[in-house]
Structure 1
Amino acid sequence: MNLQKPRRRMKLKQRKKYGKEGTAMKKAMMKIKASLTNNVGIKVIAVVIAALIWLMIVNISDPEKTVIIYNIPINVTHEEVITDMNMVYDSDKNATVNITVSGKRSVVSKLSAEDFTATASLKELSKVNAIPVQVSAVQNYIGRKITIEKQSKQTLEVSIEQVKKQNYSVSVEYNGSPEEGYVAGGYTLSKNMVTVKAPESLLDKIDRVVARCDIDGENEDFTTKSRLYVYDKYDNILKSDKIKLSSKRVSVSVTILNEKQVPIETPSVGTPETGYHVGKVTVSPENITLIGKKEVLDTVEKLVISDTINISGKTTDTVEKINIRKYLPEGTDIGQGETDVISVVIKINKLVSKKFTINTDKIAIDGLNNSYEMAFVSKNINVELQGKDDVIKKITLNDIGASINLNNYKEGTETVNVSVTLPDGATLVNDVRVRVKISKKK
């Protein structure tokens, strides 16, 4: 059976079918080509108009805008340019710059000072000590979308100064107070000197370097690390990162002592001019606070001024100043806030005198030989006494005794010394004599 003839017929039918479809496709493509190639100018204008309409829509919804960004901090860079020459610079640490920025509203409306950096490089320092200020966006993509139209500050002024150094002795200041009954005594430092390095203008202001040590509530010796502070002459602490100390802290060993208040003994006083006497002697202050170890203070009951105050030739009240340090017991010192000079006020008064007339029959006779007898040539003797007013006022004749000693005297008229006994505090102004007549008994 021959099967090939039907197959050929099918192929022929398929060719006729697909031939018709291909012809239709070709005709459609020709129409499209004709529509694209005909009226080209009109179509180009349409595209341009569409683009302009799109741009108008975009600009209406996101137009150009100009804003001002305030207070962008200015950072100084490349400090080593100055420091490597042993110099320092100073500028306004709070310096800022304002900038005017333009760009799309969607971009610039969101900007703030944090989106920008302002730098001033010391590499670009001018002869007039000014540095150009450069402002840029932190993010590059922002920088590409905006324009910095202007900035409020073009340069940053700086001052340049030489750095110098100087040595200072370290002193100690205490904070607080030890436990009651105790006081801070001496101290020792691990370093007595420090080197301060600073700009010349700051170095000239430095008065002293102090280690501040906390002693609050202490009752025994201790050692601590204390921070160093730099003071000016007005007692203000100088704070600057440009002040460099060779050591920031030192070791301080503090001695804690006991304290005890004792009276000051009234010193002995010499003799004033003749005819005057020492009245009341007062010491100011009357008491002094001593510091020292407890075992030493327990042996001290008073402060003794061992030297006699010389007032020879003095006729009026006098004040003597005495430095008591030389009289301090060994192992003690003067308490904090106490004076080391005391005042001794010495009252000097004029002596008063009083005259008494004594009948010679009141004179006791001693030493007269039994073979002799005697008689006073005069009936009275005059006695003048001298002494303090309160003593002399109280003396009466009954308080005065008189006697003569005739031992070794023989017949004749003689002037004899009278021995006068007086109350305490009274003295004779002049010697007393009396004339007597001695004769043999009949």
Structure 2
Amino acid sequence: MSKNNEKKANVKGLRSLLYNNKFVLLLSVILAFGIWIWVSIEKSPEVEVTVSSVPVKIDMDNSVPAQLNLQIFGDNNYTVDITVKGKKFIVSALTADDFSVVAQTNYVDSAGKKSLQLKATSDKSDNFDIVGLSKNYIEVYFDTYKETEMALKPSIIAPDNKTVTDGCILGNIVFSKNTVIVSGPSTEVNKVTSVTAETSISAPLTATTTVTPELKLVGASADELSNVSILEGDTAITMTMPVLKLVELPTTVTFRNAPASYLDGNINFSVSPSRISAAVPVEKVDQITSLSIGTIDFSELDAGFNTLNFKASDITEFVITDRSIKNFKVSVNMSGMTSGTFSVPASNITITGQKQGYNSVITSNGIDGVKLIGPADSISKINPDMLSVKLDLSSLDVKEGEQKVPVIISVAGDTSVWAHGTYYVTINSTASEQ
């Protein structure tokens, strides 16, 4: 009896639900959604969909071109569009990340522009077909890498080609670095014939000026050198454009290591030519009263008449505008001087400064055969104890072991005597503990 009552209660409850409008509405929605899902999956039509901008991979690891030292130059960011066919609900959800497109490099065996075939795959391709690619080949430039060092050539663009103001000339251009490294594919680098450092000025220069020029490759069109570059560290080079003032001044020489009595310029000498036209830095023109064509060390001067020659090409402090001048002749008159031969005792040779990192000792047993020049009265009073050498090694190129180093011989107690010739002492050096 109780079971019948339970069945009647269940039937009555189900009947009440079927007559409940809200329940019937909810049930209808659930059934409709389920039917829609089933139809979408089982009865969905096949469609074609294009997936855009799928990146192309060019794997060079252990590839044929890599083994031939070939590299890729130029654009290597390639993409393709992939068309797929499959059920709409599957293919419509595909993205570029679902595909892999690889360029085949197996047949790249030389430098140049090569057509690489593309192959597209997908781990999800069991559910759809890859119909085609927007392009089946890509053009890729292969070549070996090359670096070459090139000297810079200045180029100044000026109004009417006038770089400096009237009465001046442009001196030799000075670069903070004279060469640059050009790098890129060998075929293109080989076309570069030079590198210019170019700058533009709006008016003639009136003073020495320093700029950061634009570095340009010369030898072929920009398109032909599109993959060539200048190493980054070389692109900040500065270019100094010296402005030189035209002058006409007497010539002179500079004397070095002169005895005290000659420091006031009491030296009988002449220079030929005695006056020249030249160009000097415009910033120093008011300070210059003569042009020194070289330096004479007193050790070069003997008793009597001395003649020394200087090459015009060795002069760097100014520019000689008269190109016919090739040499200068300097005459130094030391008539009335006499000479004598002396020795420097070993005890009078001392080291006043050591080279950092070394300990040096003098091994020479004095210096013999020293020729002294001076007035006869002074030479007659010279004795060995008046001669000495003070050797400062701090700025010399000291090496371990024995070596000869040049020295300057001083004469104490006399201001008009000097040593003629070049003299050396032997030192022995060992590395010191830092």
Q: Which has the higher contact order (CA 8 A, sep 6+)?
A: 2
TM-score using structure 2 length: 0.39
Please say which structure displays the higher CA radius of gyration: 1
Q: Provide the TM-score with structure 1 as the length reference.
A: 0.39
